[in-house]
Amino acid sequence: MGKEAFNPSEIGEKIIDVIKTIYDPEIPVDIYELGLIYDVMVNENFDVKILMTLTTPNCPVAETLPVDVEDKVKTVKGTKSVEVEITFDPPWTQDLMSEEAKLELGIL
């Protein structure tokens, strides 16, 4: 008894909460609301794979942001392994931002 039961969707929600604490250094909006996270997958073994993009391929944090995401997500209780994959397919556009992010940046 006493052991907490986890399920992948609960962990997925916790991962998103953690990702929302990571901000793009050039834009005062978290990377989730910016639409940089394309997918968060948690399998039944609690291995996590995150598919994300950057605002541009030569983004100043191209080297550090994926590592930051991986390190923070590893702190989520119940996760076993975390892999962050960067993709530029499809390329990021402002259309991927949430309405909150667009409002924050005065785009809406």
Predicted pLDDT of residue 26: 80
Does the residue 75 lie in any domain? yes
Domain that holds residue 50: 8-98
Judge whether 103 lies within some domain. no
Percent of the chain with pLDDT over 70: 95
Instruction: Using a cut of 0.85, tell me whether the model's pTM lies above it.
Output: yes
Q: In this structure, what CATH number is given to the domain that contains residue 82?
A: 3.30.300.130
Inside any domain, residue 3 = no
Total count of domains within the chain = 1
Cβ pair 22, 31 in contact under 8 A: yes
Q: Is the pLDDT reported for residue 3 higher than 60?
A: no
Q: Kindly state whether residue 90 falls inside one of the protein's structural domains.
A: yes
Name which of 71, 75, 61 is nearest 23 in CA terms. Answer: 61
Q: Is residue 87 in a domain?
A: yes
